[in-house]
Amino acid sequence: MAMLNTVLGDIDALDRLSSRGGIANRIDPRAMLIATALFVLAVVSYPKYEIENLLPFFVYPIIMISLGAVPFGVVARYLLIASPFAVMVGIFNPLLDTREMIVVGSISISSGWISFISILLRFSLSVSGALVLLACTGYVRTCAGLAGLGAPRLLVTQFLLLYRFVFILADEAYRMARAHSLRSRGARNPGVSVFASLAGHLLIRAYDRGLRLHQAMLARGFDGTLRTNRELRWKPVDTLFVVVCASFFAALRFGNVSRTLGELVMETQR
Amino acid sequence: MSHHIVEVKDLIYRYPDGTPALAGVTFRIEHGESVGIVGANGAGKSTLLSHLSGCIIAQSGLVAIGEIPVTKKTLPDIRRAVGTIFQDPNDQLFMPTVEEDVAFGPLNMNLPAEEVERRVAMALSKVNALHIRKRPPYRLSGGEKRAAAIATALSMSPDILVLDEPTAALDPRTRGLLIDLLHGFTHTKIIASHDLDMILDVCKRTIVMYKGAVMADGATEQILADIELLHRSGLELPMRMQSCPKCAGKDKES
């Protein structure tokens, strides 16, 4: 439970990084969303055994992390936290796909290992892209950006409320877990019946809290649309940002930057 | 007729399971009055306040703010006139920053951005909370959360302030600051609370609720000095009236 609270606290901290006012924080959220979508699209569009052409894509998150003054350690930590999902997706590839693909010296590497590494690379790139978006833009501005790009208002409102609800749920869960641990004589496993009761109570309490929040929103004129005072203003620099990002991703995707760079280096050495 | 007048006539409300919550409540609150609503747990105080802010619509009887009866159709007008401050500030604060939370109401009133900004600054400065405007609400102390919650209602420039247990879970110093703050508001104030000393400090008039009905309605000093009435309604004398030497001293000073 304490770990869940820590993770949520960190997400909140990451979100708050967006209010620092750095160069990356000033980019219009719509521009950031377009760039992130193009980035993820380019990364996932490669065939399953691709590795070398994925590596140059790390330039984008690295540059954005630097511009947004986001601590590298925070992004690395989240990648680690989320990595079990990617590992679970690809862990059986080396066992099932044993065809020899590359030979490095006397070691042969199977295509299963290559596809597994490719999955990990794509995962790292996509997640770091999303983290960069959150840290540079902030959750609320990202949602405002989604609305600005034409996403249904209802969906955007749901996203915004979901973010708040996750914290409410965690808060209630933390209180219940604390109450349980105080009376459980150190027993970590509550048992099925107690666990079922805890889960049921958690849902009811979170639902009640949600209702009270909704009442508070209604009392202040909420009509189904969540309005914010963060007005979106598309500036020429946002257009430039999207054009530069799109050109960069296209160059990486449709050209072989790794090979070209390698050949250049080899030629210089000759 | 002034928007500050609150009229409740023969108000009846039953919970969905049939439990009676309000059984024929009637009273009238005039412009600028500060009225305390007191009563034991389950007396119907919070349900009554929910009717005043339009969170619950009367099943029978009348609730009117000024000349406007509280109905589904009139809710936008009612919510503009009545600022509600809930018992738990955590229920009231839901936006990422205090500033955005305070701006939530004015934005829903479709006010221009400059006016929203002006109201946010005004409301936060009234509760001495300008310094926390950029902070996330869930990271504030209890007193700061309460101040921010009050600011969220003030930013809508309501005619009437409805407060549910405003001093609950506040330390003595913050409680004192809140009482000073409430003294400073010229709004019509309706305060439901178990904190009888605060009611004594802030409200000239008190309504005693018992089992969903009005048991007594009159001057606070008289009501809260009536031991028998307080006992019958499940309450006790305020500390200040219990011959507490410390409170008595404070009383003399004031």
Give B80's contacts in chain A (Cβ within 8 Å). 221
Predicted confidence (pLDDT) at residue B252 exceeds the cutoff of 60: no
CB atoms within 10 A of CB B142: 14
Mean pLDDT across B203-219: 95
Mean pLDDT across A136-146: 87
Domain-located, residue A257: no
Question: What value does the CA radius of gyration of chain B take, rounded to a whole number of Å?
Answer: 18
Report how far residue A245's alpha carbon sits from residue A32's, in angstroms, rounded to the nearest whole number.
Answer: 10
Q: 3-class DSSP state for residue B26?
A: strand
Domain-located, residue A158: yes
Predicted confidence (pLDDT) at residue A126 exceeds the cutoff of 80: yes
**A200-214, B108-122, B149-163: range with lowest mean pLDDT:** A200-214
Asked if A138 has any chain B CB less than 8 Å from its own CB, the reply is yes
Let me know the angle formed at the C-alpha of A101 by A97 and A105, rounded to the nearest 5 degrees: 130
Domain-located, residue A256: no
Q: What is the pLDDT of residues A222-258, one digit of tens each?
A: 887 777 776 788 999 999 999 999 999 999 998 877 7
Whether residue B149 contacts residue B93, with contact meaning beta carbons closer than 8 Å, is answered with yes
**A54-58, A74-78, A250-254, B232-236: range with lowest mean pLDDT:** A74-78
Q: What is the pLDDT of residues A78-90, one digit of tens each?
A: 888 888 988 998 8
Q: How far is CA B13 from CA A265, B6, B29, B210, B247, in A?
A: 82, 18, 20, 14, 39
Whether residue B36 contacts residue B49, with contact meaning beta carbons closer than 8 Å, is answered with no
Subunit contact B116:A216, Cβ cutoff 8 A? no
Q: What is the pLDDT of residues A174-207, one digit of tens each?
A: 888 888 877 777 666 777 888 888 888 888 888 8
Subunit contact B53:A219, Cβ cutoff 8 A? yes
Predicted confidence (pLDDT) at residue B1 exceeds the cutoff of 60: no
Domain-located, residue A259: no
What pLDDT is attached to residue B201? 92
Report how far residue A241's alpha carbon sits from residue B184's, in angstroms, rounded to the nearest whole number.
Answer: 51
Domain-located, residue A266: no
What pLDDT is attached to residue B87? 87
Residues forming beta bridges with residue B22, ordered by sequence position: B13
Q: What is the pLDDT of residues B37-93, one digit of tens each?
A: 999 998 999 999 999 988 889 999 999 998 899 998 998 889 889 999 988 888 888
Give B152's contacts in chain A (Cβ within 8 Å). 220
The burial class, CB within 10 Å (0-12 / 13-18 / 19+), for B131 is: exposed
Domain-located, residue A36: yes
What pLDDT is attached to residue B122? 92
User: Which of A45-49, A98-102, A177-181 is modeled with the greatest confidence?
Assistant: A45-49
What pLDDT is attached to residue A7? 67
Domain-located, residue A253: no
Query: Please, which pLDDT band fits residue A74 given cuts at 50, 70 and 90?
Result: confident
Residues forming beta bridges with residue B69, ordered by sequence position: B64
Q: What is the pLDDT of residues A199-219, one digit of tens each?
A: 888 888 888 888 888 888 888
Mean pLDDT across B98-118: 91
Subunit contact A139:B108, Cβ cutoff 8 A? no
What pLDDT is attached to residue A73? 84
Mean pLDDT across A43-65: 91
Domains assigned to chain B: 6-92+158-253 (3.40.50.300)
Contact pairs from chain A to chain B, CB under 8 Å = 73
CB within 8 A of A263, min separation 6: which ones?
A: none
How many domains does one find in chain A? 1
Domain-located, residue A262: no
How large is the ipTM? Answer: 0.76
CA A172 centroid distance within chain = 25
Predicted confidence (pLDDT) at residue B220 exceeds the cutoff of 90: yes
Residues forming beta bridges with residue A108, ordered by sequence position: A103
What pLDDT is attached to residue B244? 61
> Chain B: residue nearest A230 by CA?
B100
Give A16's contacts in chain B (Cβ within 8 Å). 136
Predicted confidence (pLDDT) at residue B249 exceeds the cutoff of 60: no
Report how far residue B56's alpha carbon sits from residue B204's, in angstroms, rounded to the nearest whole number.
Answer: 27
Q: How many secondary structure helices (H) and strands (E) does chain B include? A: 11, 10
Question: What is the extent of the structural domain holding A23?
Answer: 2-247
Q: How far is CA A81 from CA A112, A259, B48, in A?
A: 24, 33, 48
